Amino acid sequence: MFTGIIETVGTLSALTRQGDDLTLTVHAPGLDFSDVKLGDSIATNGVCLTVVSLGDHSYSADVSLETLQRTRFADAKVGMRVNLEKALLPTTRLGGHLVSGHVDGIGEVKSRSASGRAIEYWIAAPEALSRYITEKGSIAVDGISLTVNAVEGNLFRLTIVPHTAHETTIAEWKPGFKVHLEVDQIARYLERLMQGRAAETGSTLTMEKLARSGFL
């Protein structure tokens, strides 16, 4: 589990194809490796990866075919910058929100504009994910815990303050840029729970029923 609060930005320093999957190496001099060991999880651009080897300020991780099919790592290149976060501890401050590191889909940056000192982005989510995205709710974008400030169909708006832009890869986002999306876990589990209840009672889950139950 992660919080979506990025610890540092690393760089892909090596990519080794292993048949249908690959092993990537991330150089991250800004990450504290003192408590990292083999088998630990590190969220890499929002993707939970398992450390299989450690180097000098770096780690390597295997990326399965399943992960390649669901993320941008299929098109990764050496030099790509990635947001990094080690798995949370029981004593970690939950400054963002609960993030699993399991990417739900790929979004696309549609626009970027200045809003005072902040930057506003509109991002298009896959239609299948749009129902989980709500105004003032949380979403992880490339591993970053962010607040949704507006929703229009499958589009949602983010307002990025200078500190967040400086400490992450957000400054690289331009129209057309693809990003990893992970929706709020509570929304997914709630939907599954309601579907199970609907199956037991023979009823169907609707937005009206969610509203009546106080979830919207």
Residue pair 99/145 in contact by the 8 Å Cβ criterion: yes
pLDDT for residue 199 is more than 80: no
CA dihedral 78→142→97→70, nearest 10 degrees, is -100
pLDDT in tens, 68-80: 999 999 999 999 9
Q: Give the integer Cα–Cα distance in Å for 73 and 75.
A: 5
Q: Are strands 178-183 and 105-115 parallel, antiparallel or unpaired?
A: antiparallel
pTM above 0.75, yes or no: yes
Domains in the chain, start-ordered, CATH in brackets? Answer: 8-86 (2.40.30.20), 105-183 (2.40.30.20)
DSSP readout, 85-121?
Answer: EEPP-TT----S--B-S---EEEEEEEEEEETTEEEE
User: pLDDT class for 198, splitting at 50, 70, 90?
Assistant: low
pLDDT digits (tens, 9 = 90+) for 96-108: 899 999 999 999 9
Q: Which residues contact 205 (CB under 8 A, 6 or more apart)?
A: 191, 194, 195, 198
